[in-house]
Amino acid sequence: MQIEYVKTYDEMSQKAARSVAQQILLKPESVLGFATGFTPEGMYARLVELYQEGLIDFSKVTTFNLDEYVGLSPDHLQSYHFFMWDRLFGKLNISKEKVYLPDGNVEDVQKSCLIYEEAIQSAGGIDLQVLGIGPNGHIGFNEPGSDLSGMTHVVELTPSTRKANARFFDSVGAVPQKAISMGIKTIMNARRILLLGSGSGKWDIIQKTLHGPITSMIPASILQLHPDVTVIIDQSTTGLK
Ligand code: F6R
């Protein structure tokens, strides 16, 4: 693991965007894995700037997002489809056919998981997967106790994750109870991983993830076993003074 501590959220976002840009420059037809949430928003804004400055071209890039709620339509303001098109895809020259997010707005969500996993395989696997980390050490929606060898699957969201995500909805009750998430194995299959650590109160969980025992109770700790992980930690928000 290559671990970098930076002083601000902006510095983290800048470095992360450069890493993604480098991946695209070296391999224009890269397959990228993206996350939603507060953590990567700054990185997406920097990527849009790099694109507007003519430095990167997304026309050959394929993307797969980590997760999506079950039961929200793609145009729902809190769906991850909406988030990604609003913050990133809608501002780039990416082709719509090359953008993939799990489809949780269907009758057969189990089938949707299989289709998603097959699409990742057909694209040749993920070259670079960007991750945030939850306050309980989750990655994607892989909550503590998740199967460390799991592929894309339907997840029952824990009360703590629903509570954490309630800030985006009218109430906790409005947060969907289920989501589709890439599994830990899907994530571990990515050739490179970029883990971004940002958000108040995450200092302890990040330290346990990076230096503690590998345990399904801290799903992100499995990343210690991945051969090519870069971690960028924003000290200003995680709690280190
Ligand atoms: C979202 C995702 C989640 C978030 C995590 C951190 O697609 O995969 O695992 O990365 O919940 O969220 P933020 O960045 O909002 O603190």
**pLDDT above 90: residue 161:** no
Phi, psi of 128 (to 5 degrees): -140, 120
The finding on whether 35 has its CB within 6 A of some atom of ligand 1 is: yes
Q: Is residue 220 classed exposed, middle or buried when 0-12, 13-18 and 19+ CB atoms within 10 A define those classes?
A: buried
Confidence of residue 216 (pLDDT cuts 50, 70, 90): very high
Q: Is residue 110 classed exposed, middle or buried when 0-12, 13-18 and 19+ CB atoms within 10 A define those classes?
A: exposed
Return the structure tokens found at 58. Answer: 């997304």
Q: Is 117 a catalytic residue?
A: no
| Tens digit of each residue's pLDDT (9 = 90 or more) over 25-64 | 999 999 999 999 999 999 999 999 999 999 999 999 999 9
User: Do 24 and 128 touch, CB atoms closer than 8 A?
Assistant: no
Residue pointed to by tokens 């971004």: 196
Q: Give the separation between CA 141 and CA 68, rounded to whole angstroms.
A: 9
82-86, 160-164, 234-238: range with lowest mean pLDDT: 160-164
Give residue 240's pLDDT.
60
The helix-helix angle for 80-87 and 41-52 (nearest 10°) equals 40
User: Do 66 and 184 touch, CB atoms closer than 8 A?
Assistant: no
Buried b (16+ CB within 10 A) or exposed e, 114-128: eebbeebeebeebbb
The verdict on pTM exceeding 0.85 is yes
Neighbour tally for 239: CB within 10 Å: 14
Residue pointed to by tokens 């894309």: 152
Side chain identity at 28, as an amino acid letter?
Answer: P
The finding on whether 220 has its CB within 6 A of some atom of ligand 1 is: no
Atom of ligand 1 nearest to the CA of 39: 14
Q: Give the separation between CA 222 and CA 206, rounded to whole angstroms.
A: 12
User: Do 224 and 210 touch, CB atoms closer than 8 A?
Assistant: yes
**Nearest CA residue ID for atom 1, ligand 1:** 36
Which of 32, 38, 39 is the best mutation target for the ligand 1 pocket, counting ligand atoms within 8 Å of the beta carbon and taking the most?
A: 39
Q: Give the separation between CA 214 and CA 55, rounded to whole angstroms.
A: 39
**pLDDT above 80: residue 172:** yes
Mean pLDDT value across residues 82-99: 97
Q: Give the separation between CA 12 and CA 195, rounded to whole angstroms.
A: 11
- In 166-225, which ranges are continuous DSSP H helix? 184-188, 203-211
Return the structure tokens found at 145. Answer: 């106790």
Give residue 48's pLDDT.
98
Return the structure tokens found at 5. Answer: 């501590």
Q: Is 204 a catalytic residue?
A: no
Q: Is 143 a catalytic residue?
A: yes
**pLDDT above 90: residue 238:** no
Q: Is 138 a catalytic residue?
A: yes
Q: How far is the CA of 78 from the centre of ligand 1 (A)?
A: 13
